[in-house]
Amino acid sequence: MRWTVLDSPIGELSVAVDEVGVCGVQFGPVAGAARADAEPVPGVGWLPAALSQLRSYFTGELTDFTVALSVTRGSDFERAVWREMTTIPYGEMRTYGEVATALGDPGAARAVGVACNRNPIPVIVPCHRIVGAGGKLVGFGGGLPRKRYLLELEARVALQRAWG
């Protein structure tokens, strides 16, 4: 696994890749990680694609990540939640309860929240699209200002695309 730090509008993001795909995204720098803006960025497997897609996402050019993911941890339930997150369309939100219901367990809203908090690949696996009942902004490992930024970015881009 190799970590690289990418500057983004929500602060530094550390991105990890392995031979299979992106295996981690963390808010802030990871000790010993290379800087993405250093020249040259080594072409380690999925790293160039991951960095390029994240940059394009933050400029509003990319709405669907296609980089391969490498998820090697998490319970079966957590993995199901993370998979469900990837089905939430860009610019849309679901509540924790709606995700729990989609997984066949309407009473598991809190467990969905725990799984969101344990998401190893935030932004790419869009846990920020999951909100509390009534659309309330709650629970985001990167902090609510980052969650708000990501949701506002997606809403703005979706609106621009809809209205041309």
pLDDT of residue 43: 54
Same structural domain for residues 51 and 104? no
Known catalytic membership, residue 23: no
Same structural domain for residues 103 and 49? no
Same structural domain for residues 122 and 83? yes
Active-site option among 16, 111, 125, 127:
127
pLDDT of residue 36: 74
pLDDT of residue 146: 96
CATH code for the domain of 23: 3.30.160
The upper half-sphere exposure of residue 50, i.e. CA atoms within 13 Å in the direction of its Cβ, equals 34
Contact between residue 117 and residue 139 where contact means Cβ atoms under 8 Å apart: yes
Give the distance between the most distant pair of CA atoms in the chain. 50
Of all residues in the chain, what percent carry a pLDDT higher than 70? 95
User: What would the pLDDT profile of 4-60 be if each residue is shown by its tens digit?
Assistant: 999 999 999 999 999 899 999 999 988 887 777 755 455 557 888 999 999 999 999
pLDDT of residue 44: 59
